[in-house]
Amino acid sequence: MDIFSELREQVGSLGDLLGEGADDLTGTMRGLSDQQLVRALEAAAAAVRGLGRIEAVGAGIMAERSTREAGQEGMAQVRGHRSPADFLQVITGGSKSEARQRIRVGQSVLDATEETADPATDLGAAGADGAGAFCVRVVPAWHAPLADALMRGRVSSAQSDAIRRGLGEPPTGETGIVDDDTRDAWSAAAGQLADEAEHRTVEELRDEARLIRDRLDPDGAERRFLERYEARSFRTWTDADGRRRGSISFDDDGYALVRSIFDSALRPRRGGPRFVDAAEVEVAQALVEDPRSLDQLSYDLLADLLRAGALADAKVVHGTRRAGVRVVTVAGGAGGYTEDGLVSLPQPDIDQRVCDTGTVPVTADAGGDPLNVGRERRLFTPGQRVALSVRDGGCRWQGCDRPASYCEAHHIDPYSEGGRTDIDRGILLCRFHHMQLHHSGWRISRDGKDEFVLHKPGGAATVLEPRLALAYAFGDVDPPPRRFRPAA
């Protein structure tokens, strides 16, 4: 279906729902049923995606015609604008960052639709003077599958930009040219992420693309890790109103530690697990009822940490749960990632952590289901929670980004009805989605070791796909992974 047919179809659906001449849009939409409102939002979103393709390509062409080389004769400059982003911002009424994103996406589409020359030396075609003859081989851009998905309406401009920027550019190696295996690996990764876009948020796609990039390019991952480490900084200043301010640029280790500390201390206010030890209940409730804002609580926690110092009693500063960063590695793989946030870490950093803290081995079968305890215990053991965190990476509800430390272990077979406290019958859900499941008629099922399935009230079912980043992290990751090679 071409783009204009799609637009007519979606606009027609909106007309059927709202009435062609509805003057009171607010009143009309408030009169819709829940199902009708969802259909209206879906049709509007599809129409916006269609128009977004036109806007993105147009933005890319505008940028082509407004280059620095064009000078004052450029398309944007002739109309009195310093840059194409400035001009596009005026046209769309959006922010500068949104304009730049549209231009990036448009340029990516234009680049992917043009033939790219890949120069190579043909040593077998030497001339009379012994010099090699040069030939030019035309190759497709590695991000062509992503551009194709955008033009077919399978990904939005925001999703396309998140994937492209997350994957970055393939490494060129010593030759300065991207070899075929590397290009194929990046191209296949772009295509697979585009296939996942329907079920993933922009933030999840961005994070997964970065993790995949680091798995494909471990040397580059370590270089970027060290660059962020070298760029770490903390500075303070006094603004014009006399307020003292601060700014921090984190390295990966520092950010993971700080996030863990603040999550551990503030989790009850942010929707953390309810199934905690009795000793924690009173502390958690006091934090929920605390009149301070989260920002104020964060500031006061930071001040307490600085006062208490590195040797503070954990209960004084953190409550009853000590903060820490747990890292997951896969036997035979390079590097690892943080359990919360799935932040990629290089192997030297993993080795340093092992020297300091040791390891907890987790053995999993093909379905990732270790440490079963049957009906001997009502609640999942700490060891099982570790295994669930490794397998699920966080809340498994579609589109939820809550990390593992914010989740509760749910029995898909109710314990009161004979269900077992086994890993393959348990799943991580954040507090909100766990409560929604129990109180709103939802349920989760699993046939043997197949994927978990979420059943909506009324019968509609959705497969709860595992986090894509974990699928790659647990795969054969010798670059370029076989999973990224095109089918023969």
- Region 240-253: what's the mean pLDDT? 90
- Region 5-22: what's the mean pLDDT? 82
Of 93-102, 291-300, 422-431, 457-466, where does the model show the most confidence? 93-102
User: What pLDDT is stored for residue 123 in this prediction?
Assistant: 43
Average pLDDT, the chain: 79
State pLDDT tens for residues 399-433. Answer: 888 888 888 888 888 766 667 777 788 888 888 88
- Region 230-249: what's the mean pLDDT? 90
With cut-offs at 50, 70 and 90, classify the pLDDT of residue 375: very low
State pLDDT tens for residues 212-237. Answer: 999 889 889 989 988 998 999 999 99
The answer to which of 160-164, 304-308, 446-450 has the lowest mean pLDDT is 304-308
Q: Which residue has the higher pLDDT, 483 or 50?
A: 50
CB atoms within 10 A of CB 38: 11
Per-residue HEC secondary structure of the chain comes to CCHHHHHHHHHHHHHHHHCCCCCCHHHHHHCCCHHHHHHHHHHHHHHHHHHHHHHHHHHHHHHHCCCHHHHHHCHHHHCCCCCHHHHHHHHHCCCHHHHHHHHHHHHHHHHHCCCEEEEEEECCCCCCCCCCEEEEEEECCCCHHHHHHHHCCCCCHHHHHHHHHHHCCCCCCCCCCCCHHHHHHHHHHHHHHHHHHHHCCHHHHHHHHHHHHHHHCHHHHHHHHHHHHHCCEEEEEECCCCCEEEEEECCHHHHHHHHHHHHHHHHHHHCCCCCCCHHHHHHHHHHHHCCCCHHHHHHHHHHHHHHHCCCCCHHHHHCCCCCCCCEEECCCCCCEEECCCCCEECHHHHHHHHHHHCCCCCCCCCCCCCCCCCCCCCCCCHHHHHHHHHHHCCCCCCCCCCCHHHEEEEECCCHHHCCCCCHHHEEEEEHHHHHHHHHCCCEEECCCCCCCEEECCCCCEEECCCCHHHHHHCCCCCCCCHHHCCCC
The answer to which of 39-43, 280-284, 297-301, 433-437 has the lowest mean pLDDT is 280-284
User: What pLDDT is stored for residue 34 in this prediction?
Assistant: 92
- Region 371-396: what's the mean pLDDT? 69
User: What pLDDT is stored for residue 487 in this prediction?
Assistant: 43
Both tokens assigned to 269: 């206010």
> Considering the entire predicted model, what is its pTM?
0.69
User: What pLDDT is stored for residue 62 in this prediction?
Assistant: 93
Q: Looking at the predicted structure, is the pLDDT value of residue 161 above 90? A: yes
The answer to which of 4-8, 20-24, 145-149, 364-368 has the lowest mean pLDDT is 364-368
Main-chain dihedrals φ then ψ at residue 479, nearest 5 degrees:
-70, 140
Q: Looking at the predicted structure, is the pLDDT value of residue 127 above 80? A: no
The answer to which of 66-70, 179-183, 269-273, 371-375 has the lowest mean pLDDT is 371-375
